[in-house]
Amino acid sequence: MWGCSSCGTRRLVNLVVFTVLISLAEAWQQNLPPKNSVRYGAFNSDQIFHGNKTATDYFKILLQDQTTALIGSRNVLYNISLDTMKENHKYYWNSSEANYEMCQLKGKSEDDCQNYIRVAYKKNDEELFVCGTNAFHPMCKIFNLTDGTKGIEEMDGRGRCPYDPLHNSTSIYAGDQLYSGTVADFSGSDPLIYKEPMRTERLDFKQLNDPNFVSSLEYKDYIFFFFREIAVEYINCGKVNNIHRLPPMAASANIL
């Protein structure tokens, strides 16, 4: 009586699609070896990564290979060993006093007005590209890997990094370009998928409708963005899972 008439149909369609995807997955590339494996019970109490032990670290794994992982946190980017969970290195980056004060003037808390690292990738063997929330004023910086701490260049992080550490965002580096799924404004009301200088249409709910980004990946000639959003055609049925597909070498237009 109170449900929407299309919800049942929508659920049935989702079930059919899910069943087909399972069938395809089972028929494709069986027995793939894992990228990493850990023996059950191999870790003990001395192999737990705690970060800086603050209440609002908001850890996020940003980059990982066979032996190390880069973990974004509150004012720090950690390079840790996956074998021992020990720190190999720390990259410190605090918000400036001016940005901190402006953040608090806008009504945000002391915890909000920190720099939470949310994007990191290696441009080359000598440079690490990093972005942080920077007290609700996103910034990006290139770190020199030879000395490990010195930032050699700073730039605007809007469109590349979220304002809020709680916002679900994603990014991927492919074809010498950074692709991001995040928000482009202080209030979090302008979601976008961005590759400089292109972005999705502003306020076009047919492209993005209050998305919560989950992940992104490169496959062949495409970049895939995974997110949950409110589907306009099923407004009364709640959020649904969506996939947005972009060509990594898109033409130099203003809109994706």
SS (H, E, C) the chain: CCCCCCHHHHHHHHHHHHHHHHHHHHCCCCCCCCCCCCCCCCCCCCCCCCCCCCCCCCCEEEEECCCEEEEECECEEEEEECCCCCEEEEEECCCCHHHHHHHHHCCCCCCCCCCEEEEEEECCCCEEEEEECCCCCCEEEEEECCCCCCEEEEEECECCECCCCCCCCEEEEECCEEEEEEECCCCCCCEEEEECCEECCCCCCCCCCCCEEEEEEEECCEEEEEEEEECHHHCCCCEEEEEEEECCCCCCCCEC
The overall average pLDDT reported for the chain is 81
- Read off the pLDDT band of 94 (50, 70, 90): very high
Q: What is the pLDDT of residue 190?
A: 95
Task: Give 100-156 pLDDT, tens digit per residue.
Answer: 999 999 999 999 999 999 999 998 888 899 999 999 999 999 988 877 566 678 999
- Read off the pLDDT band of 48 (50, 70, 90): confident
pLDDT above 80 (res 237)? no
Task: Give 191-236 pLDDT, tens digit per residue.
Answer: 999 999 999 999 888 888 889 999 999 988 899 999 888 766 665 6
Whether this model's pTM surpasses 0.85? no
- Read off the pLDDT band of 38 (50, 70, 90): low
pLDDT above 60 (res 4)? no
